C-alpha cells in the first residue's frame, strides 16, 4: 500500500532497510547464538544518523516525529528484534529528558544520544513494580547538594551497555505515584553497578540486566523536572514509545512472511509446491492481512501522536496490542508453513517466534494495554 511518505521519510526507510539487509540479517544468527550485544551495528546506524531521528535539531538531531521513528524501527525489526530493541531503547531513555528535562540537561545529554556517542536506557521495572508503578521501592533522598539513591531495577534493556539512564525513584512515599521522580544516572556514578546479563528465550543479542544502586550519590541537578512529577513523565514517555514496539512487531512479522512465502513456493509435496494447496494459501493470506492491517494502525497512530500529542493513551495501547499479538501469531504460522525446517535453528523463523513473545510483555503487557483501552472506553461512554 502507498502510505504517502514524504521524501525525508522514504529516505529513513531506505537507509534503515539498507543497514538491515547488509549488516543485520547476515549477522543475526551469530548474534543470537552468542548473546552478543550488536555494538558495531549500532555504531554504523549512528553514523547513518538514525539515532538522531527524534532528537530536536537544536540538540543535534533530525527533529523527527513518532512516524519517523516507527518507519526506522520497523525496518530494523524486520532484520532482528534484538537489534531493534537495543536501538529503540535509546529513544525510551531519552524521552524523559526531551519531555521534562532542563535546558542544561538537554544540552548535555541529547547531543550525545543523537550522535550515537552514548547509548541510553530507561529504568522503571522492579521485582514488584512493572505495570504497577506504585510498587516502586527504589528511593532517592536529598542530602545537601546530592541525591542518594538506593534500590534495584530489573530487566533493563541496554543495562550495562548504556551510558545514560533515566531512572524512576520514590522521593515521597506518602504521596504514592505522585511521589515518584526521574533522575539521570551516568555509567560510572559511585554506588551504581549492574547485575549479570540475563539469559533470555529471545532477543538474546539485547543486553538485559539489573541496575543496582547502593548509596549512589548524584548531583542535585540530575533530577528531571520537579520532584513528584516522574509518574506523569513516565506515562507520557510510554504513550509515545509504544508505537515503536508495535512497529518492531510489524517488521518482525514482515520478516517472517518474507521467509515463509519463498519457502512455500519451492517446497514440493505430492508433485507440486505447497503454496498451491489452499490450506497453506490461507495461512499466508491471514499473515499478510494481519501485517498490513497492523501497519496501517501503527502508522495512523504515529501520525495522530505527531498531530495531537495529548490524549493518546488509548490509540497507543491499541496499536501496541494489535501489532504484537499479530506478530506472535504470524511467526507461529511461519514456523507451521515451514514445518520441520521452520523448527530448526538453521532457519530464522524459529528465532522470530522466540523474539515475538517479549513484544507482548515489555513496555506494558498486552493485558494492561487492554485495561487502558477499557478504562478509556468507560470514561468516554459514561
Write down the residue that cell numbers 524459529 correspond to.
350
Which residue, among 65, 54, 73, 72, has the nearest Cα to 12 in the 3D structure?
Answer: 72
Picking from 260, 254, 258, the residue whose alpha carbon sits closest to that of residue 298 is 254
Q: Which of 7, 259, 363, 376 is catalytic?
A: 363
Q: Does residue 363 carry a catalytic annotation?
A: yes
Distances (CA, A) of 366 to 131, 236, 238, 296, 324: 10, 18, 13, 19, 8
Cα–Cα distance list, 169 to 114, 140, 274 (Å): 26, 6, 55
Q: Are strands 208-219 and 192-194 parallel, antiparallel or unpaired?
A: antiparallel
Among 119, 112, 102, 17, residue whose Cα is nearest residue 55? 112
Q: How many CB atoms lie within 10 A of CB 301?
A: 27
Which residues are designated catalytic?
363
Amino acid at each position: 500500500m502507498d502510505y504517502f511518505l514524504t521524501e525525508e521519510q522514504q529516505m529513513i526507510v531506505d537507509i534503515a532497510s539498507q543497514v538491515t539487509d547488509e549488516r543485520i540479517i547476515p549477522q543475526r544468527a551469530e548474534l543470537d547464538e552468542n548473546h552478543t550485544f550488536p555494538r558495531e551495528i549500532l555504531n554504523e546506524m549512528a553514523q547513518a544518523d538514525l539515532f538522531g531521528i527524534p532528537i530536536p535539531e537544536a540538540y543535534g538531531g533530525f527533529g523527527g516525529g513518532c512516524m519517523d521513528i516507527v518507519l526506522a524501527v520497523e525496518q530494523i525489526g524486520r532484520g532482528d528484534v534484538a537489534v531493534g530493541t537495543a536501538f529503540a531503547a535509546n529513544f525510551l531513555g531519552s524521552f524523559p529528558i526531551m519531555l521534562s528535562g532542563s535546558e542544561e540537561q538537554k544540552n548535555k545529554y541529547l547531543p550525545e544520544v543523537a550522535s550515537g556517542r552514548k547509548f541510553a536506557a530507561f529504568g522503571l521495572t522492579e521485582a514488584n513494580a512493572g505495570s504497577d508503578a506504585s510498587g516502586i521501592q527504589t528511593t532517592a533522598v536529598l542530602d545537601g547538594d546530592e541525591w542518594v539513591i538506593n534500590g534495584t531495577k530489573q530487566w533493563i534493556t541496554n543495562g550495562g551497555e548504556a551510558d545514560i539512564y533515566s531512572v524512576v525513584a520514590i522521593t515521597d512515599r506518602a504521596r504514592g505515584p505522585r511521589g515518584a521522580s526521574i533522575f539521570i544516572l551516568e555509567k560510572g556514578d559511585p554506588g551504581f553497578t549492574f547485575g549479570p546479563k540475563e539469559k533470555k528465550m529471545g532477543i538474546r543479542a539485547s543486553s538485559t540486566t539489573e541496575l543496582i544502586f547502593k548509596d549512589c550519590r548524584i548531583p542535585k541537578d540530575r533530577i528531571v523536572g520537579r520532584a513528584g512529577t516522574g509518574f506523569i513523565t513516565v506515562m507520557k514517555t510510554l504513550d509515545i514509545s509504544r508505537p515503536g514496539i508495535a512497529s518492531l512487531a510489524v517488521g518482525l512479522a514482515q520478516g517472517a512472511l518474507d521467509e515463509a512465502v519463498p519457502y512455500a513456493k519451492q517446497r514440493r509435496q505430492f508433485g507440486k509446491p505447497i503454496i498451491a494447496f489452499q490450506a497453506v494459501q490461507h495461512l499466508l493470506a491471514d499473515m499478510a492481512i494481519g501485517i498490513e492491517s497492523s501497519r496501517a494502525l501503527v502508522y495512523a497512530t504515529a501520525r495522530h501522536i505527531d498531530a495531537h500529542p495529548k490524549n493518546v493513551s488509548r490509540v497507543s495501547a491499541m496499536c501496541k496490542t494489535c501489532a504484537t499479538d499479530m506478530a506472535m501469531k504470524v511467526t507461529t504460522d511461519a514456523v507451521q508453513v515451514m514445518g520441520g525446517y521452520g523448527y530448526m535453528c538453521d532457519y530464522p523463523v524459529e528465532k522470530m517466534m522466540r523474539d515475538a513473545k517479549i513484544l507482548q510483555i515489555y513496555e506494558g503487557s498486552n493485558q494492561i494495554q487492554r485495561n487502558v483501552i477499557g478504562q478509556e472506553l468507560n470514561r468516554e461512554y459514561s
